[in-house]
Amino acid sequence: MSNFSQTLKDIVSSLPSESSTESSQLYQGIRLFSQDESRVGTLPIQRRRITLKGIKPIAHVAHEFKSYYLYGAVEPKSGESFLMEFPHLDSACFQIYLDEFSLCYSDSFNILFNILLLDRGSFHKAKSLKIPSNIVLLFLPAYSPELNPIERLWEFIKAEIANEVHITVDSLINRVASVICNISQTMIQSLTSYSYFINAVNEAFQ
């Protein structure tokens, strides 16, 4: 990702804009988000526990696995986030997510373009997708989840619900929602501020 800042500059220079729009104004109207999805299910997430020597911890389990998906985007620069719950991981749900994201970060708030950094999942590149005019998709190299800042948010959320048993999906959804509601922008900023990402934004949008 050593050339990431140059990639951002190239994308910005290729974006359509009115001739009267100065480059400084264009940069101020562009935001860069990290986007991804994560499956959350009723099968407990097991983590190590500290016990006395020779004593094995007891872990509760649930044998019926039901799940749903979190679709999310975070802006490491500010710590802002936009998350939605969906029953499936497919292009139809992703289309709904893009449309809602587009409305939330629209040009009515002086946002010209939102760049979403995401993986190369097939549903992210489906031909049926209609990308909103204020969204630009920027794909990560193949098989590189470690480069996606939002992965740290998924890890944090799952650590918070580790070793918990939820018999129903509704119970799990409510628990995860409470965790998300208690994550501040400062925490998200701290979790997702990968140096390559922040440095590239500073260089490309200065």
% of the chain residues with pLDDT over 90: 58
Instruction: Give the mean pLDDT of 147-151.
Output: 96
Domains of the chain (ranges, CATH numbers): 30-204 (3.30.420.10)
CA quadruple 128, 131, 137, 143: dihedral, nearest 10: -20
pLDDT at site 8:
83
Structure confidence at residue 4 as a pLDDT band (50, 70, 90): confident
Strands 80-86 and 113-118: unpaired
pLDDT at site 45:
64
**Residue 71: is it exposed, middle or buried by C-beta count within 10 angstroms (0-12/13-18/19+)?**
buried
Instruction: Give the mean pLDDT of 117-122.
Output: 96
Helices vs strands, H then E, count in the chain? 7, 5
Q: How far apart are CA 127 and CA 136, in angstroms?
A: 15
